[in-house]
Chain A
């Protein structure tokens, strides 16, 4: 049973437009949510996170929204740039150990110039 799901394996967006990556989770004990970005043959890079006490967190072009009742979160990238093309992983953890996260399978974002 996959507890963190990214239902879209891929997403293609035009440069300058908004990219919206979605993530659903099933475990109501999850309290902390993270997004990572990964280029091929490299390690993931921690992007942005959100605690369950918030419904939005913003960092530059990246905004994460959390809907606890729907067990859904999304990552918005505005404006999208070609360098944003990568695999994005959603992850979730309990309140104490963010390193022990459960990851989704990733969404490959392609930003076209």
Chain B
């Protein structure tokens, strides 16, 4: 019973390159959340997706960042033209239904992006 799978675990990109982070939710989960954690800080919500739909992207930077969760395959967080400030841990979480009081959410182990 695999948990939330994120890859790559570690990614190094030069400034200006693109970073693609993938998240496969737990089996049977159709709700995916992405968070970013800067060093010494808490997690910050970025985007909430269901299959083929972006439900809430209010935490996403307006430029260079995009997310998708296609009908088949993992959810992808894409960062174009990366800058040093994008260096962070990116966590994905999934839930079988909308995460609300009374149910729970499961996190992946994170993807660490380093921009050099």
Chain A residues with a Cβ under 8 A of chain B: 4, 32, 41-46, 49, 51, 89, 91, 95-106
What residues on B are CB-neighbors of A49 within 8 Å? 101
Q: A42-B110, A43-B4, A43-B91 are in contact. Are A104 and B42 (CB under 8 A)?
A: yes
Q: Please name all residues of chain B whose beta carbon is closer than 8 Å to the beta carbon of A99 when the two chains form the complex.
A: 31, 33, 45, 48, 93, 95, 98-99, 105
Assess whether A43 is in contact with B56, with CB atoms less than 8 Å apart: no
When the two chains form their complex, are residues A97 and B42 in contact, meaning their CB atoms are under 8 A apart?
Answer: no
Q: Is the CB of A89 within 8 A of B101?
A: no
Q: Is B107 interfacial (CB-CB < 8 Å)?
A: yes
The residue on B at minimum CB distance from A103 is B42
Contact (A45, B93) CB under 8 Å given A89-B43, A99-B33, A100-B45: no
Q: Which residues of A contact B42 (CB under 8 A)?
A: 4, 89, 91, 103-106
- Name the distance in Å between A52's Cβ and chain B's nearest Cβ: 10
Nearest Cβ in chain B — how far from A93, in angstroms?
9
Q: Which residues of A contact B105 (CB under 8 A)?
A: 46, 98-99
Contact flags (1/0) for B56-83 with A, using CB distance below 8 Å? 1011000000000000000000000000
Instruction: With CB as the reference atom, state the residue of chain A lying closest to B45.
Output: A100
- A51 proximity list for chain B (CB < 8 A): 101
Interface size on B, residues (CB 8 A): 28
Distance in Å from the Cβ of B69 to the closest Cβ of chain A? Answer: 13
Please tell me if B44 contacts chain A, counting CB pairs below 8 Å. yes
Residues on the B chain within 8 Å of A103, using CB: 42-44
Complex CA gap A104/B44 in Å reads 9
Q: Which A residues are CB-close (under 8 A) to B106?
A: 46
Residues of A within 8 A of B110 (CB): 41-43
* Highest count of chain B CB atoms <10 Å: which of A4, A95, A99: A99
How many Å from the CB of A51 to the closest CB on chain B? 5
A91 cross-chain contacts in B, Cβ below 8 A: 42-43
Give A26 to B5 CA distance when docked, in angstroms: 34
When distances are taken between beta carbons in the complex, the residues of chain B under 8 Å from A104 are 42
Q: Are A97 and B107 in contact (CB under 8 A)?
A: no
